[in-house]
Structure 1
Amino acid sequence: MKIRADCGIIGNPQQKNITVLALVKRYLKTKTGTKPQKKSNYRFVVNILKNEPFSGKKIGAIKTSDAKLFLIKLQSDGRGYSTVKTVRGVLRPAFQMAVDDDIIVKNPFGFQLAGVVVNDSKTREAISRDQMRKFLKFIHDDNTYCKYYEAL
């Protein structure tokens, strides 16, 4: 253990040398009892990170600007806002774990996502207004389903 003169926090200098991918994998090991869909999302993020040079960087060298530039790069490479948000949703708590373990001083992903990447996602409607009118008219006029019209 070594005492850092800048803030007096005791930390292990070797732990700062672990990569982003290794940190994420370590963080995911702490996530026990997760549902299958959540585990699938975690695997999705790990697969994205495996193909990115960013995942090979040492966590002690990552600055907030590096984190922002990485997320911007993901979006400019064609990843959607939802994917970028999912990746950040794993990286942010992983780096927070490193902060809590006194490996790093500050979480480089501790910023608002909206100020960095553009939310290009579109809200989808289940059915259009015209389709809804036709459906309700069918329910109203049908002998079998007309009893449900008031409920709808």
Structure 2
Amino acid sequence: MAAVIKGKKLPTGIRKKNTNSFEIRVKHDGKTYYEYAPTLTEAKKKRVDLKYRLAHGTYIKPTSYTFDEWFNFWIENYKMNSVKIGTIQTYRNYYNSCVKERFGNVKLDKIKGADIQAFYNDLVKSNHKLATIKVIKAFMSNAFKQAVKDGIIVRNPFDATNLPRNTKPEKERKALTREQQSLFMEYAKDSYLYNLFAVMLRTGMRSGEIRGLRWSDIDRKENVIHITRTLKYINGQGFMDDTAKTKTSVRDVPLMADTMNYLENQKNYWSFKVEKIDRYLFCTVDGNPISVQMLQTEIDNVVGKIHEAGQDFPRITSHVFRHTFATRAIEAGMKPQVLKTILGHSSLAMTMDLYSHVLPDTKAEEMQKIASIF
């Protein structure tokens, strides 16, 4: 006798298990396959999908996957051609450093919301930033969501969790003072990356953007730098061009005269002519790309020279040049909306949140503009 719910017969191959679950049964090649769904509507869809996957050889036994196996399957089949190469590398890096040891050998259907919540708490205890936890949550939850769609598990365990609140104040974005900026550039004069430092300070370009710059991106006619890509290093593959960080990261940055001078100097810095060969504008003496590590080493070398001269100077990263550019721009009165476009931020709120520390210095001056009204 067929199962009945609310006076209606359930479709063939579906029966109600309990209040929140329907069992799906499909026979194929002499075997019976089972899956589950929380509603009758989803159960009907899953049964059609299950029959299709069995007929086409794409069925995955729900209990056969550990999270490690599923994560790699998800990356290769669902993400490889839909997100940036750099994003996939980020997922893999976070997975290998934070997730694999904890969940890699655990079966998908054995990972519960309580396990994820405990994982969150341990990440907080080990001083991981909230931003890092958010990235981990994003790709893990996405992987589980796909597993639900594929009928491998019934529910996404992340639906039963809450992200920890940010218990630590965000560190203020560091920017060089005018004096520090001049001091650094003075001691960087003998560096093979002197021109790169100078251009970063005048454009606010990201590290990957300037390291991935080619001479063909310099538009003398329109007097702009076309930023369309970022340089990435992928383990096992080497350096490659990746798409820009976001849609708004694809942009044109206006060229100032002195910025063009530094770019011209770089074009002729090495013996080969960079505009006639497919090399990056900023490269090594052999024409090879500059890695993040090489850039940081050169910054540290310059700071080391400043220390050797008996002067105090903070340890900085390449991103400080971007913050310094933005700080100088706000100090000079550049409109936030214009700065947002030049930096390639996706929203004005992002620009203002990052550089609000500059505004207190200009509040009094701005208030004076309306003093005469009263």
* Fold agreement, TM-score > 0.5: yes
How far does the alpha carbon of each residue in 1:104-143 deviate from its partner, in whole angstroms, 9 at most, with x for none?
A: 11110124634xx122352744243354469x79xxxxxx
What is the rounded CA distance, in whole Å, between the counterparts of 1:104 and 1:4 in structure 2?
18
**CA distances 1:45-88 after superposition (whole Å, capped 9, x unpaired):** 22224552222211111111111111221221221111111001
The residue that corresponds to 1:66 in the other structure is: 115
For the residues of structure 2 that align with 1:56 and 1:76, how far apart are their CA atoms? Answer: 23
- Per the alignment, residue 87 of structure 2 pairs with 38
Distance 2:71 2:152 in 1: 14
- Tell me how far apart the structure 1 counterparts of residues 72 and 125 of structure 2 sit (CA, whole Å): 25
**Higher alpha-carbon Rg:** 2
From the superposition, tell whether residues 33 and 100 of structure 1 become closer, same or farther in structure 2 (CA, over 3 Å): closer
Task: Say if 1:64 and 1:50 are closer, same or farther in 2 by CA, change over 3 A.
Answer: closer
For 2:106, the equivalent position in structure 1 comes to 57
Between Structure 1 and Structure 2, which shows a larger proportion of helix residues? Answer: 1
* Number of residue pairs the alignment of both structures matches: 132
Paired residues for 1:1-152 under 5 Å: 6=17, 7-9=22-24, 10-11=34-35, 14-29=61-76, 30-31=78-79, 32-49=81-98, 51-111=100-160, 113-114=162-163, 117-119=164-166, 120=168, 122=170, 124=172, 125-126=354-355, 127-132=357-362
Contact 1:81/1:121 (<8 A) preserved: no
Deviation at 1:25, TM superposition (A): 1.7
Q: If the length of structure 1 is used for normalisation, what is the TM-score?
A: 0.69
Greater relative contact order (Cα < 8 A, sep 6+): 1
Distance 1:49 1:17 in 2: 23
Supply the RMSD in Å over aligned alpha carbons. Answer: 3.1
Alignment gaps of 5+ in structure 2 = 1-13, 25-33, 36-58, 173-353, 367-374
Tell me which protein shows more strand as a share of its residues: 2
1: CA distance, partners of 2:169 / 2:23? 44
For residue 176 of structure 2, what is the aligned residue in structure 1? none
Q: CA deviation at 1:26?
A: 1.6
User: What is the TM-score normalised by the length of structure 2?
Assistant: 0.31
Choose 79-88 or 123-132, whichever is displaced more: 123-132
Q: Deviations over 1:14-50 (max 9, x none)?
A: 4323111222222212111422432232222222245
The DSSP-based 3-state class of the residue aligned with 1:105 is coil
* Deviation for aligned residue 1:13: 8.3
What is the CA-CA distance between 1:99 and the residue it aligns to?
A: 0.6
Structure 2 Cα separation of the partners of residues 5 and 56 of structure 1: 32
- Whole-angstrom distance in 1 between the partners of 2:126 and 2:136: 14
